[in-house]
Amino acid sequence: MSNEQRKAELEVKRAKLEEIRQKKLQQEKLRTAPTTPMTPNLSSMPINLLTTPREDADPDRILQEVGIRQPVSLPASSPSISPGSTTSQQKRRPPTNMALQICQQTTATISVPPKELVTYSKEVQTIESGDKDPAASPIQHDHLQWDDEFQPSASGEHNRLVYVTDDEDTMSLDDNTKPSMGMSLASATELKRTRSLKHQNKQLSLQGQSSMIKQELTNDEREHILKSEQFQDFFSRSSRLIERSLWESPRAFDIFKDYSGRDLDGQNEKMDVGEIIKFDREFFDERWTRHRIVTCIDTSTYHPELVLASYSQNDESTHESDGVVLIWNTKYKSKPTPEYVFNCQSWVTSCVFSKFHPNIVLGGTYSGQIVVWDTRTNKRTPVQRTALSASSHTHPVYCLQVIGTQNANNLISISNEGKMCSWNIEMMTQPQESMDLAYRTKPVAATRMVFPGVEVNNFIIGSEEGQAYSGSRHGNKAGIQDSYEGHFGPITGLSCHNVNGSVDFSSLFLTSSFDWSVKLWSLKENKPLNSFEVNSDYVTDVRWSPVHPSVFLTCDITGRFDIWNLNHDSELPLLSTTLDGNVALNKCLWSHNGQQIILGDDQGKLRLYDVNEFLTNPKQDDFNKLSSTLQEFKRNTLDAFDDNHSTNVPTTTTNVPTTSTTSSTSVSHNS
C-alpha cells in the first residue's frame, strides 16, 4: 500500500472519530446546559457542516468556519479585562453568518428542593427558634405555625416558618433568606442526623412491635408459666393489693370527740353496752372456716393490724385439710378474704406469730408436731415441721410462746403428755431442751402456759386437773416448784398481769376453768385472791388488758363475754353481753393497744369490737386503787374461801356433769 493511500485512510478515520466526538459533545450540552442567549443554537446550523468528512479535519478550523472563535489568550503580564469591555475578538459576526461566541461568565447556583407531597393528616408542629408560646402566635393552623413576623425577636434570632411533614422533610424560610434557597451546611447536617436517628428509632419500634406479636401459647407452655414460682409470687402479691384497694372504705370520724378527758369522769356508772364497746366487723370465710372451731388467736407485734387464727378440722368435709390457719387484716373493713391461708395435715390446736421474725408463723398440732409457715413463700403447706419422736411431743400441743430477745430467742411448747420443749426456730428437727413436767413425781398434763412479762426462765402452767403450777427452766430447782389449788375442772385460760406502772403487779395472774369460774392469783399466795362466779357454763378463756391495770376479759360457751373493772366492782362485770344465734365463744384476745377485743367462736367466726377509750387510757390513781382492792381481797376472801369451798363442792359436782352432756362437742374440741 502506498503512502498516499495510507494517509487518506487515516484521514477518513480521524474524521469519523471527530464526528462521533462532536455528536457526544452536542448531546451532552443539550442535556445539561440551559438554553440562553449565550448558547449557540445548533439546531439552526447546516447539518452538512457537522457531518461532512474533511481531509483537514482540524477542530479549531471547523469552529472558525461555523462562526465560533477561540478567545485570544492574554499574556500573564497584561492587565485584566473587565467582563463588560468589548474587544475585536469578542465582537459578534453579522447575524447572517450565525456567528456564536463562547465566553466565561459567573453564574449563581440555585438549589431547588424536590416537590413535596402534602397530605392532610395528624402531623408534628414545631417552632425552631424563639421562646414564644405557640398559643400566643398571631397565626395558627392545623399544620403551620409562625411567630409574629412584624416584631423582631428579642433575642436577635430570626423568626422561621417551619413545616414538618409525615416523612420528616423540613423546609425553613428565614427573614434574611439568601439568593440561594438552599439550607446552610450546618443545618443540613443537623437535619440529616436528626432524620437518621428518627428513622432508627422508628425501625426499633417496629421491631419491638413485631417481637411482641407472639403466637398463642400451647397448653403445656401455659401450664408451665402458671406453675412457675415467679408467676405465683406475682399473682399472690397482686391479688392481695387488688383486694385491699377494692374493699377499703374511708373511716367515719367523730367530729364531737373530746380529747380533754373531762367526759370520762363517772362513765362507769352511766355508760351502757353500746358506749363501752362497738361492733366493728366479722371475719368468716365460707370455704376455710365453715364448720370449724377457732382454737387459738394471736396478733402480730410487727403489724398490729394482722390477726392470726387457727381452726379445728371440718367434720362435714373429709377431703379438705384438717388444719387451717388464716391471717386476717383488720385495717380493711370490707375485705372479706384473708391475707394468707395455711394448711396442715393435722388440725391446729395453737398458733403464734414469731415476735422476732415478722414472716414466720408457728403452729402446734393435735398430732404433736410443730409446724412453721413462711409468708415469703407461696406455699400453703409448712416449710418446716418437727419429727414425731420420743424426744419431742407425741400428744396435742396446746400452747406455744416465743421468748427471749432479737439475738437470742426460743420457741417454748407444752403438750398434755407433760412435756415442755425448747426449740430453735431456724432448726426444728430436734428440740434444744426437753423437760418432763411433774409435781412431786406426779406427771402434769399441761393445757396452758405463760411466761410473766419478759421472763425467759420462770413460767406458769395450767393443767387438766384444775391446778396451776409455777416453775423454772434452769437453775438448782429446775421444773415445777409450787402448786395453786382452787379449780375443780381443767384450766382453759391463763393470763399474767403485764401492765407497768407505779405499782408492780407482775405477780398477779388469772385462770379460767370448766368449773364456771375465773380466779385471781398471786405467785406469793397458794390460795386464790378472789373468785369471779357469774357464769352459768364453762368459762373458756380469760385475758388481762395490756394497757389498763384493773381490766380483764372473759368468755364462755353460752356466747357470753364479760369485761371486768376491779376498781369499779369486784362482784359484777362492768359489761356483760351474750351473742345471738346459739354461739359458743372459745377464745378471746385484746389487741396490743387495748383498743379492740377479738372473740372466736365454734362456728369459725372472729368478731372484732372497738373498746371505749376510758378502758384504754388508765388514770394515775388506777394503780393505787387496784392495790387497795387487792388488800381488801386478802382481808375478806381468803378466810371465807375455805368455808365456801366445803358448801360449793356438792353443787359444782352436780351441775358440771349436766352441762357436759349438753355441750359435749365444745368440750371435746377445747380439751
**pLDDT score at 349:** 94
**On the CB side of 451, how many CA atoms lie within 13 Å of its CA?**
19
Radius of gyration of the chain (CA): 52
Q: In what helix (H) or strand (E) does residue 23 lie, and over which residues does it extend?
A: helix 3-32
Using CA atoms, how far apart are residues 538 and 530, in angstroms rounded to an integer?
18
**pLDDT score at 221:** 84
**pLDDT score at 412:** 93
146 and 281 share one domain: no
Q: Which of 175-179, 313-317, 419-423 has the lowest mean pLDDT?
A: 175-179
**Residue finishing a domain among 169, 190, 221:** 169
> Rounded mean pLDDT of 13-17?
89
| Within a domain: 62 | no
> Rounded mean pLDDT of 189-207?
76
**pLDDT score at 135:** 43
* 179, pLDDT greater than 90: no
Looking at per-residue pLDDT, the higher value among 503 and 141 belongs to 503
Strands (E), 545-620: 551-556, 560-565, 575-578, 585-590, 596-601, 606-611
The sign one gets for the Cα dihedral 523, 524, 527, 528 is negative
> Rounded mean pLDDT of 381-390?
88
| Within a domain: 204 | no
3-state per-residue secondary structure call for 182-215: CCCHHHHHHHHHHHHHHHHHHHHHHHHHHHHCCC
Per-residue model confidence as pLDDT tens digits over 283-308: 999 889 988 999 999 999 989 999 99
Confidence of residue 29 (pLDDT cuts 50, 70, 90): confident
* 409, pLDDT greater than 60: yes
Looking at per-residue pLDDT, the higher value among 327 and 177 belongs to 327
Question: Where does residue 594 fall: left (phi above 0), alpha (psi -120 to 50 degrees), or beta otherwise?
Answer: left
Rounded to 5 degrees, φ, ψ at 14 are -65, -40
Confidence of residue 661 (pLDDT cuts 50, 70, 90): very low
**pLDDT score at 81:** 43
Highest mean pLDDT among 108-117, 260-269, 506-515: 506-515
| Within a domain: 31 | no
**pLDDT score at 134:** 43
Using CA atoms, how far apart are residues 399 and 464, in angstroms rounded to an integer?
13
Confidence of residue 119 (pLDDT cuts 50, 70, 90): low
460 and 596 share one domain: yes
Looking at per-residue pLDDT, the higher value among 642 and 17 belongs to 17
Q: Which long-range contacts (CB under 8 A, 24 or more apart) does 508-512 make?
A: 508/630, 509/450, 509/452, 509/460, 509/468, 510/542, 510/543, 510/544, 510/552, 511/448, 511/462, 511/468, 511/486, 511/487, 511/542, 512/539, 512/540, 512/541, 512/542, 512/554
* 605, pLDDT greater than 90: yes
* 663, pLDDT greater than 80: no
163 and 280 share one domain: no
Using CA atoms, how far apart are residues 62 and 54, in angstroms rounded to an integer?
10
| Within a domain: 65 | no
519 and 648 share one domain: yes
> Rounded mean pLDDT of 344-353?
92
Highest mean pLDDT among 99-103, 168-172, 328-332, 647-651: 328-332
151 and 280 share one domain: no
**On the CB side of 462, how many CA atoms lie within 13 Å of its CA?**
31
Confidence of residue 60 (pLDDT cuts 50, 70, 90): confident
Number of H helices and number of E strands within the chain?
A: 11, 34
**pLDDT score at 2:** 75
**Residue finishing a domain among 169, 199, 230:** 169
Using CA atoms, how far apart are residues 367 and 449, in angstroms rounded to an integer?
19
pTM listed for this prediction: 0.59
* 270, pLDDT greater than 90: no
* 493, pLDDT greater than 90: yes
CATH code at position 437:
2.130.10.10
The sign one gets for the Cα dihedral 311, 606, 338, 289 is positive
163 and 304 share one domain: no
> Rounded mean pLDDT of 589-617?
92
Question: Where does residue 20 fall: left (phi above 0), alpha (psi -120 to 50 degrees), or beta otherwise?
Answer: alpha
Range of the domain at 158: 127-169
Looking at per-residue pLDDT, the higher value among 150 and 597 belongs to 597
| Within a domain: 380 | yes
Number of domains in the chain: 2
* 552, pLDDT greater than 90: yes
Looking at per-residue pLDDT, the higher value among 652 and 563 belongs to 563
Looking at per-residue pLDDT, the higher value among 614 and 88 belongs to 614
Name residue 628's amino acid.
Answer: S
Highest mean pLDDT among 150-164, 259-273, 284-298: 284-298
Confidence of residue 422 (pLDDT cuts 50, 70, 90): very high
Using CA atoms, how far apart are residues 524 and 539, in angstroms rounded to an integer?
25
| Within a domain: 70 | no
Strands (E), 150-275: 161-164, 170-173
Place of cell 388440725: 347
Q: Are 423 and 384 in contact (CB under 8 A)?
A: no
Confidence of residue 186 (pLDDT cuts 50, 70, 90): low
* 128, pLDDT greater than 80: no
Name residue 662's amino acid.
Answer: T
**pLDDT score at 620:** 83
> Rounded mean pLDDT of 367-375?
92
Give Cα 181 to chain centroid, integer Å: 59
Beta strands 277-283 and 170-173, pairing class:
unpaired
Using CA atoms, how far apart are residues 145 and 134, in angstroms rounded to an integer?
7
Using CA atoms, how far apart are residues 516 and 537, in angstroms rounded to an integer?
5
**What is the percentage of the chain residues whose pLDDT exceeds 70?**
67
Number of Cβ within 10 Å of residue 145's Cβ equals 18
Mean pLDDT of the chain: 76
| Within a domain: 354 | yes
| Within a domain: 64 | no
Using CA atoms, how far apart are residues 361 and 352, in angstroms rounded to an integer?
6
* 342, pLDDT greater than 80: yes
**pLDDT score at 213:** 59
